[in-house]
Structure 1
Amino acid sequence: MSPLSAPPPFRNPLAEQRADPHITRHADGRYHFTASVPSYDRIVLRSSRTLAGLASAEESVVWTRHASGDMGAHIWAPELHRADGAWYIHFAAAPADDVWRIRMWVLESTHPDPHRGAWIEKGRIVTAWDTFSLDAHTFTHRGDRYLAWAQHEPGTDSGTAIFLSRMADPWTLTGPQVRLSAPEYAWERVGFAVNEGPAVLRRNGRVFMTYSASATDANYCMGLLTADDTSDLMDPASWVKSPEPVFAGCAEAGQYGPGHNSFTVAEDGRTDVLVYHARPYERIEGDPLRDPNRHTRVQPFGWRADGTPDFGTPVRT
């Protein structure tokens, strides 16, 4: 029985009312989980020796929004990463008096335990344009550190597209910033023309980058970009975009709008795990961003014979 047909070994949802989930497994085997909270006012962190243990792990508030000025509203999509001997949290925030002027920011802690150390504000990630930007995702490949993120490009009708740049350090971009994907297909433009939430996975001689598309309601879904492991990742021509969503809502499973994913591995170190949020109902009253019930979910996924990921469909609650 394949991992996609076997009963999922995880509790789902793993964490209720936690959107834009990010789970990383540290070198010591501990899992660290952070996500957006419905009030969009703080950054929380859970840690556990097991993936399942994150469901009941004590949650720490490691940082709270400013009462005024920068980083005062819309605290969105935090990601925790280890780099250069320190912990970093990349997240989005807006000024308290201009709540849609969303930009990307970075926190740093040099303490070995991300729950206990003081978090220092390293500042804003400065991009080529001072426009709406969010969902910073950092990764290393062949000795270089990169940042993938979503941003509005001036002069386009897209809400956000996916961009890539090399980094001088975990809070500074260097060199050119290139667009890898803009919302061009109909399934990327339902409600809003959006590509956002990039996440990188490297397997089978290729670099895979998932992203999320359309409005954050039941139409939200995941797309996929693929590049050869040896190619120049900064060349947009190196990336091939899948013409159809690779993960979408499933009425049979009762899960809608899956997306803003990350990747981790199970305790065996071999089983790949998809981390994402979804809602257990299709209809939403009012603004989807004000509906709190995007729940964090986890499920194993497999690989096709051609070496590409097979995410399947959302599992049942």
Structure 2
Amino acid sequence: MARKNILSGLMDDSKKFTAVNSETDSGAEKQQIAFKGIGALGAVTRSIDALAARADAARDIEEKLAHGETVIDLDTALIEDSFVSDRLIQTDEQFQELLEAIRSRGQDSPILVRPHPQKDGKYQIAFGHRRARVAKELGRPVRAVVKKLDDRDHVIAQGQENSARADLSFIERTMFADKLDTLGFDRETIMSALSADKTTVSKMLSVTRRIPAEVLSAIGAARATGRDRWHDLSVKFEEENAAERAMLFVETADFVAAEPDTRFDMLVQFLNGKPVSTAQNQTQPASISQWQRRDGSVKAKIKDNGKQFTIALKAAKGSAFGAYIADNLDRLYEAFEKDMISSKNGDQ
């Protein structure tokens, strides 16, 4: 028997959405790039293609949402957050980028709210918490679609939109699944909300059942740490006194000072009985610089900590310029090597 469409006019059950956050890039120019390379460059290319597809999926959800529905301006004082949180932390940098984008060009995509189930005249956010927070800080109303949703449809809409944007880490998605499970939602609802199969959801819940919530929160989002590593860490908590030892370790000064992914590595080292590399000797403070074209068409933030060199491109042509760089990495590296050789020969 075919499953009934959960959110008529909003979700298409025939599609599985796994997309990327596009809140700050909905107006950006998109470009499909075809690479002939294989290996590491091929993997990067596939990742770029996947991100573009995920961004399209996120927009697809919101287009279906707005189709046939009225987008209205709501006073942010009338809106409350969802009854189940799905995010560990929102960095100030990410929030400021979204704030500046909405300040300059307005709110591109509406949020989804439902009439509050317990408070007359109030609304509850299904998704779009950050956009609502930005609107509140800017002193503006927030553009929203109001839709009657029961609790099940509310969490499915919330989870699927976040899965489409793919801006939640594995452990944030896992803790969201655990909260839904604790609230008594059935496994099919959790699977639909996360766009995940039964095996994946089972592995997610096994992580939260083994690792204490206090330890998970202390580690943080750990965006570079995937499912298998989290699962391996959770198995360590089956050992005697592992939870008690971990609870004490996550309160140490070096652990607290580290970034989330470094915290994860430090805890793994500690539970394995190995010397723990602290945040100070794992990474060097990153130097940060800015660059932009005179006409403002492309802006870049450049970070270098000695191990990683990152360029984040913004503005209207940021996506196209980034795609051009990716498409010409081989040629750029060859030019770099020639320059290095020329400089070396010139010094002799």
TM, length-normalised to structure 1: 0.29
Higher Cα Rg, which structure: 2
TM, length-normalised to structure 2: 0.27
Q: Which has the higher helix share?
A: 2
